[in-house]
Amino acid sequence: MLRPILRLGDSILTEPTQPVDAITPELDKIIDDMIETMYAAPGVGLAAPQVGVPLRIFVVDPSMGRDPAALIAMVNPEFVSREGMQLEEEGCLSVPGFNATVVRPMHAVIKGLNRSGAEEVREGRELLARAFQHEMDHLDGRLFIDHLRGIKRDMILRRIRKLTRAGKW
């Protein structure tokens, strides 16, 4: 089932999320919905708070559905390591229409539970490392614009306020 994606301005996006206690059938359904919603958007990743679920879960697929092996669903993820630096344009399904250059690690290793509840370690470089960091930020209530310097961030927020007033956000 497709779920509506919350946009900047919704308080769920700026609050930290809770760890998952147990992988229940309800939780499995949420993960299915997140995957479907991410592919339909389309996007490279989606975190549970973006669909209004304040839990530590994200899904990513840097192939955007082209490679079935590239799909990763992580429950209660944590960083094992982050190294290096990359500077690329980045966007977010919760901030549609806006992109900005964000500093991210070049290489990131995370561990968490997979959908079956087994511990899994995943290693990402380049786009996948960026996606890991972007989605982990969502789980802590941070959006990519929070990494921008004042002027750039203010400009985006001003434009979004204008869109909100016009009923277009």
Catalytic residues: 135
Upper half-sphere CA count for residue 71 (Cβ side, 13 Å): 14
Strand partners, 18: 55
Shortest distance, CB of residue 32 to Zn ion, whole angstroms?
A: 19
Shortest distance, CB of residue 57 to Zn ion, whole angstroms?
A: 14
Distance, in Å, from the CA atom of 82 to the CA atom of 110, rounded to the nearest integer, reads 9
3-class SS of residue 54: coil
Among 92, 100, 145, 160, binds Zn ion (CB under 5 A): 92
Give the x/- contact pattern for Zn ion in 37-76, rule: CB under 5 A: ----------------------------------------
Distance, in Å, from the CA atom of 72 to the CA atom of 74, rounded to the nearest integer, reads 6
Shortest distance, CB of residue 38 to Zn ion, whole angstroms?
A: 10
Give the residue at shortest CB distance from Zn ion: 92
**Burial per residue of 57-69, b for 16 or more beta-carbon CB atoms within 10 angstroms, e otherwise:** bbbbbbeeeeeee
Q: How many residues bind Zn ion (CB under 5 A)?
A: 1
Shorter beta-carbon distance to Zn ion: residue 75 or 90 = 90
Residues that bind Zn ion (CB under 5 A): 92
